[in-house]
Structure 1
Amino acid sequence: MTARFSIPIMPDLAPSAPFVQEQDFSARQYRGKRENQEDYYAFADAAEPGETSLQRLLLVVGDGLGAHAGGSVASYVGVNAFVRAFHEHPGSQSFRLRTALDTSNETIGMITARMPSVAPPMGTTLLSVLVSRTQMEWISVGDSPLFLYRRGQLMRINADHSLTPILEERVRQGLLTAEEMANHPERHTLQSAVLGYPLALIDFPTEPMALQPGDIVIAASDGIFTLEHKALEELLSFGKHTTADKIADAILFAIRRINFDRQDNATVGVVKIN
């Protein structure tokens, strides 16, 4: 589920209508088999001056690191610091996305600095996507996936900062078998996360991606990977006939039905482009 693809960019045209909550955008969460819900998400109105409210959406998803102190606190703090900074800073949308990420990272770093020195650092993955009816921009750190479903095809469009891509390359080179990769104990280890330190890897395209009517954008935590790529793709084939909230509900229902005994927290944010 790590394939990426290229779509021509285009100028952002004024959206014809605002997004409607639950109909056009929605999110759902499932704690899974974990003791705590360490994911956190937020939708925010990102309309520019002169635009109608909700003509642009900002969606931010954080997946707190369970092996670190305060994973649930880290995702909450990281997401809220990002949203606040995006709205408080002037400049282009692209500049505000990057500034918001840096602010989120710095905020977590300041909190970690006040913790006992024996405690592991507080941390979270962070995925933010800015969506209008004609295009989207994103910035991400970690392994939380951003998907685009278009005309029957589901594709991941942001980078995976876990060790999975490295292991997949070793499989291609014949250095590992597919079974060895699937059972590798470090396949979910992150190469980059929001920990308050300099960010090792950031996925931040230089240009927006064009969107088309009928597209479905999904921002999620890695708990969604319980579903095989094909299963999620087939589920979304019904998406054009229903609303964003029903799509999010259906995805989490499918995850629950699998009843994986080590199911991670799952968060699914959905935006439909009509």
Structure 2
Amino acid sequence: MSATTTVLTDRVPLFETQPPAFIQEQDFAARQYRGRRDNQEDYYAFADAAEPEERSLERLLLVVGDGLGAHAGGSVASYIGVNAFVRAYHEQDGPHSWKLKHAIETANETLGIITSRMPSVAPPMGTTMVGVLITPKTMEWISVGDSPLFLFRDGVLHRLNADHSLSPLIDARAERGEITREEAENHPDRHTLQAALLGMPLAMIDTPAEPWPLKKGDIIIAASDGIFTLSHKALEELLSFGKHTTADKIADAIIFAIRRINNDRQDNTTVGVVKIG
């Protein structure tokens, strides 16, 4: 399903007197590529999450959902899940970490309600999800599934959130010498998920204990797993050239690099980029 960029704000007078903390396309942007799939089953949203006393876009919410292609309505699931997340975040009061937790639980429950109304023979609707709350100085996130959250800082790319696929378990077998590295990288179960939003109790949720400090020059990327067509090193090298450009150009460059590889099994790819100026 095609992407949406949602900017929610009811602080028009404040916006008119002060520029937003984050500027669309310059500081935050997203791009998508359908790849070799029949449908685009990823969905994303940006939303203004600023508190009433803050200027517009002083807190930016980025949510990425990757619908499960083997399940009914993967594109519908990611669309419903992402929008339920954004809506629930804004409806809840309290600490930001609590609002993120409430949002992902609400998204999961919403998918469960819809699944319960479907024929009993249909598989449940499902999606992975990563929700990121970003200010110019800090970042918090919550995620379920294998959609990655990266931080590029000082020339080094770090994955911040946990991978809820079987990849970490298979890689651990390779490290113990039970299988070779090549066997691990090509294992048929490598991308099988241990957790996703399916309307059932969430057994695995990744979220930091404290807000993650950010600094000028940091680049944050939330993506669907189609980005893994690029190796860690290739993505790191690409981002090293992006430190002097804008978020939209970085997102364009990532998608262009993936398209150039021309993988005959290329998955849907969504790339959301936030640059700390």
Which category describes the TM-score, using the shorter chain as reference length? over 0.9
Q: Match of 1:196, as an amino acid?
A: G
Matched, 1:180 2:155: no
- What is the distance in 1 between the residues matched to 2:48 and 2:233? 32
1:49-100 Cα deviation digits (max 9, x unpaired): 1111111100000000000000000000000000000001111111100000
2:154 and 2:196 map into 1 onto residues whose CA distance is 32
Q: Aligned match of 2:89 in 86, 90, 98?
A: 86
Tell me whether 1:217 sits opposite 2:220 in the alignment. Answer: yes
Distance (Å, rounded) in 2 between the aligned partners of 1:88 and 1:51: 17
Aligned to 1:10: none
Give the letter aligned to residue 229 of structure 2: T
Aligned-pair distance for 1:206? 1.5
How many residues are matched? 259
Q: Which range moves more in the overlay, 260-269 or 17-26?
A: 17-26
Aligned residue in 2 for 1:259: 262
CA deviation vs aligned residue, 1:15-62 (integer Å, no higher than 9, x gap): x96100000000000000000000000000010111111111000000
Give me the whole-angstrom Cα distance separating, in 1, the residues matched to 2:112 and 2:125. Answer: 8
Alignment match, 1:69: 72
Query: Aligned runs of 1:1-274 on 2, under 5 Å?
Result: 18-274=21-277
Distance (whole Å) between structure 1 residues aligned to residue 27 and residue 242 of structure 2: 11
Output the CA distance in 2 between the equivalents of 1:240 and 1:50. 31
Distance in structure 1 (CA, Å) of the matches to 2:114 and 2:208? 29
In structure 1, what residue type is equivalent to 2:81? Answer: G
Q: Residues 127-180 of structure 1, C-alpha deviation per residue, up to 9 Å, x if partnerless?
A: 000000000000000000000000000010100000000001000111111111
TM-score, scaled to structure 2: 0.93
* Alignment gaps of 5+ in structure 2: 1-18
Residue deviations 1:168-213, cap 9 Å, x none? Answer: 1000111111111112111000000000000121001121100010
Q: Deviations over 1:216-245 (max 9, x none)?
A: 000000000000111100000111211000
Output the CA distance in 2 between the equivalents of 1:158 and 1:96.
18
Amino acid of the residue matched to residue 123 of structure 1?
G
Q: Which amino acid aligns with 1:204?
A: T
Q: What letter is aligned with 1:157?
A: L
Opposite residue 139 of structure 1, the aligned amino acid is: I
**CA offsets 1:94-123 (integer angstroms, 9 cap, x no match):** 110000011000000000000000001100
- Structure with greater contact order relative to length (CA < 8 Å, sep ≥ 6): 1
Match of 1:26, SS state, is strand
Structure-1-length-normalised TM-score: 0.94
The RMSD of aligned alpha carbons is: 0.9
- The percent identity for this pair of structures is 73
* Deviation by residue 1:229-262 (Cα, 9 ceiling, x = unmatched): 1110000011121100000000000000000000
Partner Cα distance (1:34, 1:213) in 2: 37
Q: Secondary structure at the match of 1:239?
A: coil
The 2-side partners of 1:87 and 1:76 are apart by 17
Q: Give the corresponding residue for 1:9.
A: none
Q: Unpaired segments of 5 or more residues in structure 1?
A: 1-15
Output the amino acid matched with 2:151: L
SS in 2 for 1:223: helix
Asked whether the equivalents of residues 20 and 56 of structure 2 are also in contact (C-alpha less than 8 Å), the reply is no
Match of 2:243, SS state, is helix
